[in-house]
A and B are shown apart, each in its own frame.
Chain A
Amino acid sequence: MTPLAPTPITLALPKGRIFEESIELLARAGLPLSLPEKSRALQWKMGHVTLLELRNQDVPVYVDLGIADAGIVGKDVLAESGRSIYEPLDLNFSHCRLSLIREVGATGPVHRVASKYPRLSAAYLSGRGLSAEIVRLSGNIELAALTGLADAVVDLVQTGSTLKANNLEELDVILRSSARLVVNRTALKLKRSELRPLIANLRELVAVNGKLAAPARG
């Protein structure tokens, strides 16, 4: 143990599989963390680290407002949030891509696009000089293309098997996403004694992992 008491830090992590992967990675980077027992708790204190378990869309909010000093969140969610927080590392797990999807063979004009990512969808469309109405939905986005709610959808694709099973095809990749380490603007400066070594350790781990398992990035 270090002779100096470490600065307390608060980390925001998204629920689900990424929560477990994040804890494992952070523990290997030297934080005193272990996977908490299943319980109804929403936050845990382990040594000098407080963990908050959040919905992934809320991670950028907690970090931007400084309730959490740092967090882990997918690039897709971070970009959609539009929040300008520090983003020092690609953690190279939880890969997926945000794509434009239509029914196989659809050729008509795109007037309406459904998505859980209205901001990124709008930016993508306007970047291509297209004007289409954006419909914000919360789940099973593909259904919007199949039922005629929308002419196309913008959604996450991991393996593409859902698309195949539903006669849908991926026409364009808008964004390649993976888990990112994000840091509050003030915390990076004031808690740098704690955060800089953490970032350095994570960078090393990610580099080693990247060499072992070929990254799924194209």
Chain B
Amino acid sequence: MFSPPPINHQQARMILPQGTRDVLPPEWAWREHLRGKVAAQFSSWGYQGVELPALELQNPQHPQDSRAFKLIDSGGEVLALRSEFTTAVQRLVRLRFPGGPFPLRLQYGGRLWLRSQASELGRLREFTQLGVELIGVSTPQADAELLALSLSTLQAVGVRAQLEVGHPGFLDALLEDAGLPDTLKGQLHDVLDRKSGPDLSALLASAGLGGELERTLSVVNELYGGPEVLAQARRLPLGMRAAAALAHLEQVAELFGQERLLFDLGMSRRYLYYSGFTFRAYAEGSPRQILGGGRYDSPNYDSPDGAAQGGLSGAGFALGLERLTEVAARHLPPEPEVVLALDTAGAEHARSLGLIAEGCWTGDLGELARYAALRGIRRTVRGTGFGTLAELTGAGEATA
């Protein structure tokens, strides 16, 4: 494999590791505003917050293990920096809520780290997700609730979004029923994930497969768009599992309102733990999805035999705070005015009016005026009276 030469950090004068960034004042305020709105929305639907450690014990079964940052603990054990939340929340539920009560509604928020993320537009290696998990139930009603919650959350922060649903179990079942070897199934998942018509034909031809399977998979490759997709899917020759996956999707769509959804039945598994229904949200005018989620069954990676050992079914979604900040920034309320408080009573008065009051750190009026001009402060407050910056030093001097 080609790999770039190691970077000499000193020589390159690199100040931050690639794929990380500082968050500066106006953006920080937007982030916190959005974080608060989103968390409040989750809370009002009954999702209680949990906090999870950013340091985890490394586990080769973890779905993101190959992409996670690793550290060595003092005893020599390998630790991993948190790389996704769903697995961690499952661990927490098994440990802290073994008996429920179910359904259990939890929300979380925090940073994630991925080692191998290409560092370009919106793809940081350190990023923040906010999300929910609805655990212990697997009904279409539960899936419809998550769709409704994700849309209302995006609406609450002023983002116009379009939801798209799929069911990787559908494609999985079709390939399973065709009795294909695992390697070929893997290749077909990859080809269908890219909706590559030419590669699909070439792959089937090289495997000596054609006929009904090729016709079916070519149709599946085109099964994206509005609710008409469901009817097209129903006309395909489906085995029991594929039919069941389609039926589940139809029920969810029925409950949520199918005219409000886009569908993609060629959606393949991008995360191995999503075995059931999956969904994502596209924000108007943003080239990448802003929210994604789905249903999984029993990803108990801590136990040697997975599902058999107390795995839980659940579903959830997460949204990326960095992308949300970009997309939602236009809809934010204006910041309150900042004033310079010349005494404590003035500061309290201004704050009681909802303004931001900064205190004086010196008696040097020229210094205060210079600072205020740089900071964009136009008014002062003393007691209950407001004044202009010019009055602070006598007319004309404050423009330095």
Contact = CB atoms under 8 A, between A and B. Distances in A.
Interface of A: 65-67, 75, 84-90, 118-119, 122, 126, 134, 136, 180, 183-190, 192, 196
B196 A88 contact: yes
A197 to B, nearest CB: 12
Contacts, number: 61
B273 interface: no
Does more than half of chain B's interface fall in helix, strand or loop, or is it mixed? Answer: mixed
Interface stretch (B9-17, B86-94, B107-115, B282-290): B282-290
B289 A186 contact: yes
A118 B371 CA distance: 55
Interface string B129-161: 000000000000000000000000000000000
A130 to B, nearest CB: 13
A190 B225 contact: no
Nearest to B285: A190
Contacts of B288: 66, 185-186
B234 to A, nearest CB: 20
B282 A186 contact: yes
A144 B296 CA distance: 52
Interface residues of B, number: 24
B47 interface: no
A187 B287 contact: yes
Contacts of B289: 185-186
A192 B223 CA distance: 12
Given A66-B286, A66-B288, A189-B162, 7 more contacts: A65-B120, A65-B287, A90-B197, A119-B2, A134-B2, A188-B224, A192-B224
Contacts of B121: 65
Contact of B196 (A87, A186, A192): A87
A189 B287 contact: no
A196 B198 contact: no
Contacts of B162: 189-190
A122 B224 contact: no
Contacts of A186: 282, 286-289
24 contacts: A65-B120, A65-B121, A66-B288, A85-B194, A86-B194, A86-B195, A86-B196, A87-B194, A87-B196, A87-B198, A88-B195, A88-B197, A89-B197, A118-B2, A126-B1, A134-B2, A180-B198, A184-B287, A186-B282, A187-B287, A188-B195, A189-B164, A189-B282, A192-B224
B264 interface: yes
B262 interface: yes
